[in-house]
Structures are given as structure tokens and as C-alpha cells.
Amino acid sequence: MALSGLFITFEGIDGSGKSTQTRLLADRLRADGGDPLLTREPGGSAGAEEIRALVLTGDPDRWSAETELLLFNAARRDHLEKTIQPALDAGRTVICDRFADSTRVYQGATRGDLRATVDKLHALMIGREPDLTFIIDMDPEEALKRGLARKSGEDRFEDFGLGFQETLRHGFLSLAHSFPQRCAVIDGGRDPAQIASEIAAHVAAHGDGPA
């Protein structure tokens, strides 16, 4: 039986450079002869992409945190069944832009304390943690400038404002503290190539060859 691939996730506030770094890591693993799967949440499977449109567009008050929690878990379950698990079973490295830590922080710790509910639902419906998580940490004001310059139309969370992003930053740092074995905090306020090298070194230290 083939060994399961490595499951790597990227987390952090909006605009911290996750998408950029997931791409750079995938490029590097490919250059080394690997065949990584690059995917993202919410989304990454046909059904989950449909749910993405529901949660990321429209009024900031469109959904309560509880309803969001159900939608993100529905999307994640589909993504895990259809995309992530089959790739891991085939021995591929999976690089995912956001995963359950985003739910722990965005839905679990920003509008009332829903963390216990988030953890119960995760245990019940998902039950999978990444092998390695990069938490890209940076000043929310700088990140927001990058994000606002981008304006994708999927800005429901960015529209909550700077105080919200500060709460998120502390939420992610506290998660890194709670899960030190799988989480590495990366300073995202630097040159993208420098960040990518640090991340690649962590991955090389964790795995044993490209997949």
C-alpha cells in the first residue's frame, strides 16, 4: 500500500500572502520532481465552490456565525471526500490554502465564543488535521492594504474592518501555541522569495522527498 501524502495547510489573516506562498511551494515541489495538489478553502471541489459563493459574497450580516459554521463544514466535508483524501491516498502532497484552523478562528473566536461548537462539529464531520500548518503572521494594517488593492468581490470578511483582522491575528497566534507540533509561524512581512525559502526548508525537514 502506498504511503499517504503530506497534508500541508496555510493559514493567516486576509492578504497575508497565503495564496502566493501556496503557489510558490507547489512550484518548488514540482521543480523537485513532485506532483503536489494545490487547493483552497472554501472550495476545492465542485460542490464546495458553490458554497464558497454563498459565504463570501453579499452583506457582512448575511449569515450568523452559527450558519457560517455549518456552511464551511459542508464545503470542507465535500472537499475532503472528493479532492483531499483521494490525493493523499494516492501518495500526493496536498497544499491547501486555509482549512479547519480558519473556522476555529473566524467562526470560533470572533463573534461570541463558538470554539467548543466548532471543535465538536469538526470531530464529528471532518476528523482530519494537517501534518504541517504554516501560519503567516503580519501586521493587519499592511495586509488590509494589500487586500483592498486587490478587491476581488469576495470581500465579505475584509469588510468587517481592521479590529476584526487584529482579533484574527491573535486567534491564529494562539492556535499556533496550542498545536506546536504541526504549526510554524512565518513572518509574512518580508520578501516573498525569502518567505518561500523558509517554508520550503520546513517542508524538507518534515518529509522525506518530493511527492
Residues 158-197 that bind ligand TYD (CB under 6 A): none
Distance of CA 175 to CAs 14, 17, 63, 121, Å? 17, 19, 24, 17
Taking the C-alpha atoms of 135, 138, 142 and 148 in order, what is their torsion angle to the nearest 10 degrees? 10
Q: How far is the CB of 198 from ligand ADP (least distance, A)?
A: 12
Stretch that binds ligand TYD, among 13-21, 88-96, 178-186, 203-211 (CB under 6 A): 13-21
**Residue with Cβ nearer ligand TYD (18 or 92):** 18
CA torsion 89-93-99-105 (nearest 10°) is: 130
d(C-alpha 181, C-alpha 170), whole Å: 19
Site string for ligand TYD, 63-102 (x = CB under 6 A): ---------x------------------------xx---x
Least Å distance, CB 55 to ligand TYD, is 7
Q: How far apart are CA 159 and CA 85, in angstroms?
A: 33
Would you say 78 and 48 are in contact if contact means Cβ atoms under 8 Å apart? yes
Q: Give the strand pairing for 7-12 and 132-137.
A: parallel
Q: Supply the minimum distance, in Å, between the C-beta of residue 165 and ligand TYD.
A: 9
Q: Which does residue 192 bind out of ligand TYD, ligand ADP, none, counting CB within 5 to 8 angstroms by kind?
A: ligand ADP
The three cell numbers of residue 69 are: 459554521
22 touches ligand TYD by CB under 6 A = no
Q: Which is nearer to ligand ADP, 19 or 117 (CB)?
A: 19
Taking CB under 6 A as the criterion, which residues in 100-159 touch ligand TYD? 102-103, 106-107, 147, 157
- For ligand TYD (CB under 6 A), the number of binding residues is 16
Q: How far apart are CA 137 and CA 190, in angstroms?
A: 10
What is the rounded CA–CA span in Å between residue 206 and residue 6? 9
Residues near ligand ADP (CB under 6 A) are: 12, 14-20, 146, 150, 192, 195
Q: Which residues contact ligand TYD by CB under 6 A? A: 14-15, 18-19, 41-42, 56, 72, 97-98, 102-103, 106-107, 147, 157
